[in-house]
Amino acid sequence: MTSSARNNLLVLLATLLLIACGFQLRGSIEANFNSITISGGSNDFVKQLNKRFKQAGVKIVPTGGEVKVEILKNELKKNILSLNSSGLVSEYELIYTAIYRVQSIKDEKWSEPITLDQTRQYTYDDKNIVAKELEESRLVTGMKDELIRSMAAQISLQTN
């Protein structure tokens, strides 16, 4: 067996393994509307949600969109999960919550509020403050990205 055939076989096997475990690339959403108006929420959150819809070819308009989204709440909470024997924090829990509602051109009424949550835990060590702050920042960014991805997908599905 030649090395190129072996490489092709390895790539094929790796692909089959990924497909078998349910892996799929995160693609853009498929929206069946042309324009959206998003209000409420923090600037950063709304900017990222707008970007997600722009990538799907949806026009972002300040008023009068085919679909209207009102972000009622998007917030991050940080809870202490455990303390060490000295009474210092050893583990935190982060909870990122987004609550929103949707109105499409077809419906006069707003949907019931929809709540999405992302939760992560991480260990904390006073000896590694900078590293733990960086870890927390990356966790928060990942949580926000996942919320926005889920929110955009749900909005697209709701308006079908």
Q: What is the pLDDT of residue 24?
A: 46
Per the structure, the count of domains in the chain is 1
* pLDDT digit string, tens, across residues 120-145: 999 999 899 999 999 999 999 999 99
Contact indicator for 37, 65 with CB cutoff of 8 Å:
yes
Judged against a pLDDT cut of 60, whether residue 22 lies above it is answered with no
Domain that holds residue 68: 3-158
* Burial (0-12, 13-18, 19+ Cβ within 10 Å), 11: exposed
Residue 73 phi, psi dihedral angles, 5° rounding: -165, 135
* pLDDT digit string, tens, across residues 48-64: 999 999 999 999 999 99
Q: What CATH number did the domain enclosing 19 receive?
A: 3.30.160.150
pTM for this predicted structure: 0.77
DSSP conformational letter for 127: G
Tally of CB atoms within 10 A around 115: 11
**Sheet of 89-104, strand order:** 59-60, 35-40, 67-83, 89-104, 114-123
